[in-house]
Each structure stands twice: as C-alpha cells, then as structure tokens.
Amino acid sequence: MKVDLKKLKIEFLSYLKSERGFSEHTIKSYSNDISIFIDYCSTLFPSNNIDLEVIDAKTISHFKGKEIEKKYSSKTINRRMSAIKSFFKYLYNFEKIKDNPAVYIRSQKVNKELPGFVPESKIKELMKEPIKNPITNELEGQRDQAILELFYSTGLRLSELLSINICDIDRKNEIVKVMGKGGKERVVPIGKVALNSIESYLKKLGKSIREYFEDPLFVNKKGKRLPKRTLQRRIKKYLVLTNIGGTVHTLRHTFATHLIDRGAGILTVKELLGHSSLSSTQRYTKLNPETIKKVYKDSHPHGE
C-alpha cells in the first residue's frame, strides 16, 4: 500500500501533541528532523506516494551515514535518529508497517565535554557589566543585571526564568516558583542579592513584588514577556564583554559548580537544578576533583 509520508508526518505530530502532550518546541524539532529524512527518501524514491516497506534498516542507516559525512555532531545525529525511531514506532504501533526497521539503528557515541563555567573571581565583574555598559538603556541594563543575578542565584533553565511572573517571587520566604521540564512545578530558593536586584529593576519599572501581580517578571520595551532569542543574545554579549564567553546555560553550570566547590552534596544540587536523573548532575562533580577529595577527607570517618 502506497502512502504520502508528509501526511503521515502530520498525523504523527498531531498524535504527539494531542495524545502524548509534547511541547510545541519538541514537536517543532521532530517535524524538522523527520522532514529532512523524508526529503532524503524522496531522492531515493521520487514519488509523492511510496510503499513504506521499501524503507528498510539499510535506508535509515544510509541516511545516518550521509549525516555523518556532512559532519553533524553526534548529538544532532542522535536527536535526528530519535525522531525517526519515534516516527517508525508510531507507524508500527498503529499497524501501518509490519516491521519496524528503525529498531536496528544504533546511536552515535557522544563525547561528553565538561560544561564551562564562570570562575568565582569573575562573578562580581559579570554582574556589574549591564549597569556599567548597558547594551541599550539604563532600565534594560537594570533588568539584565537582575536576570544575571537570578540565573546565578538559582541555576534556573532559560525557559523557567522567562516564564516567571511577579507573583511567583516570594520575598518573605526567599523562594521562587517555576514551571520546570515536563510541566512540573517546583520551588527554588533565591538569595538576597538576586531579590534586591529584582526589586531595584521593578522599582525602576514602576512595579513591585506583590502576591497577586501576574504580570511577566522580565519584559521588553513593549511590556511583553522577554523573548528567548533576545535574552540569549544579550547574555552572550555580557559574557563576551567580560572575556568569559559562553551561553545562558553557562550560568546554570556556574551555579552548580560553585555549590559543589563549596561542599554542597550532589543530591542537594540535583534537587536545586530540577534534574530527574542523578547522572545529569554527576557531570558537575568532575569539574573540580580537588574539591571532591577535600569534602571526602573532611566528611568520611576514614577519609584521612
């Protein structure tokens, strides 16, 4: 039976959204990766409708080989293969194919690099940068400083920070409520320095931390929630200006690294970062083995 792969892709994405509850970001990523694979198949089988049975493990393996030849990173290739595997699993489960050829495809080995971080000696300089050298104006410089302080104080993900409303900040208990991965709400401690910086920014904006104030915490010049790309560009500029370099995620790495450097337990750091798996947090313990040794010697009865 011949089918239109593009129509099947639309059905699959609809299933992910309505039945599986996948986010728009994930669905967009799946759509892009599967479209690339469909375009590849169209070069092999030049027809709008093809027999699904002709797409076998060898076809998918050859596609993977072409991606490797194009020098895509192992991470990108694995993400693409994951999308293709999910697509064929859907086709198999809904009896559109008799055999799932994607189950025979192995993932690329990924060389996990240690995450970069800002040295503690550079933190003060970084936090002063938006005030000292504002990219646009004084108000947005004050806002950017509050963002930097909040990232460093909490280790939040980019999406978590941008989704915060003013009422999510609890000044009295020094906590902030955020929506984490998978739509899971979590509560994160926030330090006084970050809280003071947020209050200074809001005061300049003509607002304040109030329990039922549901306006977005960080806004652009139009008063709308700050766009993701805008924030990414600005944080990157501040990191470059202080001769550090990196991305927004560098600040999350920095948060975890400095905690562990000062003896915080890995389980505590795991909870603060909102990791579901301990293995995700364990990467940070490799950053400073001397710190780990010191904690071991100080804490274990036979450590000396």
At 140, is the pLDDT very low, low, confident or very high (cuts 50, 70, 90)?
very high
Residues 161 and 100 reside in one and the same domain = no
Within a domain: residue 166? yes
Q: What is the pTM of this model?
A: 0.65
Among 252, 253, 258, 270, which one carries the catalytic annotation? 252
For residue 204, what is the domain's CATH number?
Answer: 1.10.443.10
Angstrom CA distances, 32 to 48, 73, 82, 126, 182, stand at 18, 16, 12, 36, 21
Is the pLDDT higher at 137 or at 288? 137
Residues 234 and 87 reside in one and the same domain = no
263: left (phi over 0), alpha (psi -120 to 50) or beta: left
Active site residue 157: yes
pLDDT at 126 over 70: yes
Query: Which residue is associated with the tokens 């995620």?
Result: 249
pLDDT at 287 over 60: no
Residues 132 and 253 reside in one and the same domain = yes
Among 7, 132, 181, 203, which one carries the catalytic annotation? 181
Active site residue 300: no
**What CA–CA distance (Å, rounded) separates 180 from 182?**
6
pLDDT tens readout for residues 180-229: 877 788 999 999 999 999 999 999 999 999 877 889 999 999 999 999 99
Among 152, 201, 238, 284, which one carries the catalytic annotation? 284
For residue 56, what is the domain's CATH number?
Answer: 1.10.150.130
Domain encompassing residue 257: 120-299
Residues 39 and 155 reside in one and the same domain = no
pLDDT tens readout for residues 71-93: 888 889 999 999 999 999 999 99
pLDDT tens readout for residues 4-48: 999 999 999 999 999 998 888 899 999 999 999 999 999 998 877
Residues 282 and 145 reside in one and the same domain = yes
Residues 75 and 177 reside in one and the same domain = no
Six token digits for residue 48? 């709008």
Residues 50 and 146 reside in one and the same domain = no
Active site residue 249: yes
Query: What is the number of structural domains in the chain?
Result: 2
Among 157, 234, 258, 270, which one carries the catalytic annotation? 157
Task: Examine the fold and report which residue of 104, 136, 162 is the final residue of a domain before the chain moves on.
Answer: 104
Active site residue 210: no
Within a domain: residue 87? yes
Residues 129 and 276 reside in one and the same domain = yes
Within a domain: residue 56? yes
Within a domain: residue 111? no
pLDDT tens readout for residues 220-279: 999 999 999 999 999 999 999 888 889 999 999 999 989 988 888 888 999 999 888 887
Active site residue 222: no
pLDDT tens readout for residues 33-42: 999 999 999 9
